[in-house]
Amino acid sequence: MSTITSLGIGSGLDLNGLLDQLRDAERGRLQPIAQQKAAQEAKLSAYGQLQGSLSALQTAADKLNDSKLFQSLSSSVKGTSITSAANSNAVPGRYDVSVTTLARAQSIATGGFAKGETFSAGTMTIQAGDADPLSVTVEEGSSLEAIRDSINAAGSGMTASIVNDGDEDNPYRLVLATNDTGTNAAIQSINFTGGDARLNFTEEPDGGYVEPYDGMRETVAAEDAALTVNGIDISSQSNQVEGAIQGVTLSIAEEGDSTVLVERNNRGVRDAVNGFVDAYNAFHSTKSDLTKFDGDTSTAGELLGDSALRTIESRLRSALGGAQSEGEIRTLSDLGISLQRDGRLEVDAEALDDAIVNNREALTSFFAGESKDVGFAGGLSDMLSQMLGDRGLLGNARSGVESRITSLSERSARMEVSIEREIARYRTQFGKLDSMIAEMNQTSTYLTQQFEALNSMMTNYRKKA
């Protein structure tokens, strides 16, 4: 860099500026390569967009290639007392559900304690439901908060908390609530051996308390959910009821009457078919954008005239227009799905609904077939896999573009080195030129001084003569 800065000092010429101009001129040779590389990178991006749209189409086809989709059932509810979810074991039908009681979790509480009150040492033995008794050790001088934390840390199937009821003298109460609803989870007893009797809890079978009693009291009773399904009484420990309707889970929200309808999942099939049509039309839009030509601006899409894209489009059109070898439904047009002049698919909703409702078996056979690769959807998905694979049509096209980008990058790098060598050669030549002109300038200055001195001597000689 110091050599470049000193250029021109000896000669007075702007050699640095001239060197910069030469560098710019030499680097102009890189511009065509950069343009070619940008074009290839744009093409690679276009292939990425094309791959994304084809992958989405394959996903939509795979969804139709699952026979379970056409066999699935759905449930709907009229009323607000419950919600429902059906699985593959459900049986179509209408079910009247009446909820009279929601399942509730039990809650028990101590009397009030003053702030800072402590308790003597002992062991709390808690019996809840059919589980083994739980032992909680209370240290001498433990606070109500410490007892609460010990119960929660024990993982006892219940949650302990402290409630301030606003009493002026003894506002703090220890409250235990079972984590699960239903009578099976209820706490039967809490015995504080060696400790404070005010932390005991003993419930008699009739729901009362063993007297004399100065311990914890039940504030919310555990209850089972009670409902009827088509007039049959059902009891459940939780508000999630399974088995009352085969293959259906009922979630109880409130008391009241509701009706559950279990039927074939027509909507799911309709959505899957329409999703496939939308995915193909999205591919068509992507393809159109990548191959369009704007006459006003004379700009073309990145894949205009691309042979790989033309082949993909041709194969897809052939697959969409092809027929299955057997079955009542053999083509997409039999379902009301037709290929329009503009290349997009259009659905006749009425014809599709008729096939879904009245010809489900033939619809299943057309899309899913007897195995994954026999039906229309399976065949199309297999064809797309071949296209999208690393050695497939699109994969090979992408690899070719990536290779050209790599080659152009390497070519650009080699030319960069060549240009820098050329500039270095110019710099050396300019340095020699600068030195030569500097020497000539020095010689010129010396001769000028000598001639001036000689001229002065001659003038003085004439005056004396």
Query: 247-297: per-residue pLDDT in tens?
Result: 999 999 999 999 999 988 888 999 999 999 999 999 999 999 999 887 777
Asked if the model's pLDDT at residue 9 lies above 80, the reply is: no
**pLDDT (average), residues 290-314:** 86
Q: For the chain, what percent of residues have pLDDT higher than 70? A: 94
Element spanning 119, H or E: strand 118-119
- Among residues 200, 354, 204, the alpha carbon closest in space to that of 266 is found at 354
The full set of domains in the chain, from first to last, is: 73-102+225-264 (no CATH), 107-220 (2.60.40)
Q: Please name every residue paired with 86 in a beta bridge, in sequence order, or none if there are none.
A: 248
* pTM listed for this prediction: 0.63
Which residues are CB-neighbours of 235 under 8 A, at least 6 positions away?
224, 225, 226
What distance in Å separates the CA atoms of residue 303 and residue 310, rounded to the nearest whole number? Answer: 9
What pLDDT, on the 0 to 100 scale, is given for residue 389? 86
Asked if the model's pLDDT at residue 164 lies above 80, the reply is: yes
Residue 279's Cα: distance from chain center in Å? 19
**pLDDT (average), residues 374-403:** 89
Query: Comparing 426 with 399, which gets the higher pLDDT?
Result: 399
Query: 334-353: per-residue pLDDT in tens?
Result: 999 998 989 899 999 999 99
Query: 121-153: per-residue pLDDT in tens?
Result: 999 898 888 888 889 999 999 999 999 999 999
**pLDDT (average), residues 369-397:** 87
What distance in Å separates the CA atoms of residue 156 and residue 133, rounded to the nearest whole number? Answer: 9
Asked if the model's pLDDT at residue 2 lies above 80, the reply is: no
What distance in Å separates the CA atoms of residue 185 and residue 177, rounded to the nearest whole number? Answer: 10
Band of residue 461 on the pLDDT scale cut at 50, 70, 90: confident
What distance in Å separates the CA atoms of residue 94 and residue 84, rounded to the nearest whole number? Answer: 13
61 with 381: CB under 8 angstroms?
yes
What pLDDT, on the 0 to 100 scale, is given for residue 3? 41
Band of residue 8 on the pLDDT scale cut at 50, 70, 90: low
Q: Which two tokens stand for residue 360?
A: 């489900």
| Other beta carbons within 10 Å of 127 | 17
